[in-house]
Amino acid sequence: MKVLPTYFSSVYAPPETPRFWRLSVAADLMQKLGLVEMIEPPPFDTSALSGLHSERYLTHFDQGIEPLASTLGIPWSTAVRDATYAMLSGQLAAVERAQSSGVCLNLACGFHHAVAERGSAYCALNGLALVAHARPDLRVFVIDCDEHGGNGTESFIAQLPNLYQASIFGTRFGCLGGPRSWTFHIRGRNAAAQYDAALDEVDDLIREHRPDLILYQSGADCHENDPKSLARISADQMFRRDLRVFGMARELTVPIVFVVAGGYQQPEQVAQLNANSVRAALQVFGEAATEPTPLTGAAAGAHTDPLVEDILAKGLLVPLGPATT
């Protein structure tokens, strides 16, 4: 694998909606860096949501009936609705792709705060729980490494016996833990060491429960410069986090789908962190797993795009090296 199969559509990122538009910035950067093979998701069949979210909420969100339609915290529009549906379609398609390729990115953001009756915190519908709902044949394990706890996903666990979650967060956001839901709260000093210890426990959980699929929330809002971050981990630590999660999937031969989840710095900065996650996936699953190619020096010089050169000069993209997992 030289490039990462990635579901994305311009429909994901309406320009008038900044929370979604940043996905387009990330997509552009990933393409300029030659990291991804973009795949357009098929049209979404909304019947896939039936029985997951309440019928009342689904109808109100589909038709723009307030106040429920905008409970995600973004004013409802047909563009917001269609972006959400497209991301959900990409999510289900990415699962099928990962079952053959091992890893797949759905370049989507918010899913994990949405509960059955409404949206929340930029998440309209829960695309993580949707996978477990649409694929009862799969034991689905969510590894949520967003800054915020996966409270919405956790709320679906009681109704989906094939759904498991481990959530590592700096901000709990109502994610309390319980049956098939494990929580790891990163706080105070030594965040990096705490994060490593939490990943050790997640590794044990994955080995114990042997899922058929991992869904990975590779959140960028736990980065030390993010205005919402309490976990405050460095770009290097985030890269090592990604390597470890992808390494778990690869070692145990469990297909993994990941989404970029939250990020509240400038879109260009979030895009750089998202690109690091793709580079980690390629380092673990791609040819770089055996032949690391540092994206500095001569390789960096191959890029003539001023944006890419500027990013490389600032050092926010982590240089590739031997895998640490």
Residue numbers at the binding site for Zn ion (CB under 5 A): 146-148, 221, 262
Question: Which residues, in sequence order, are CB contacts of 227 under 8 Å at separation 6+?
Answer: 264, 265
Nearer to Zn ion, 188 or 227 (CB): 227
Residue 204: phi and psi, rounded to 5, are -60, -40
Nearer to Zn ion, 264 or 285 (CB): 264
CB 19 within 8 A of CB 265: no
> At closest approach, how far in Å is the CB of 117 from Zn ion?
21
CA 203 to chain centre: 18
3-state helix, strand, coil in the chain (%, to 5): 45, 15, 40
Give kind and range of the element (H or E) at residue 109: none
Nearer to Zn ion, 17 or 99 (CB): 17
Nearer to Zn ion, 146 or 203 (CB): 146
> At closest approach, how far in Å is the CB of 249 from Zn ion?
22
> At closest approach, how far in Å is the CB of 194 from Zn ion?
18
> At closest approach, how far in Å is the CB of 208 from Zn ion?
27
> At closest approach, how far in Å is the CB of 285 from Zn ion?
25
Q: Is the dihedral of CA 7, 9, 11, 16 positive or negative?
A: positive
Nearer to Zn ion, 124 or 295 (CB): 124
Residue 55 one-letter amino acid? E
Residues pairing with 216 in the sheet: 143, 258
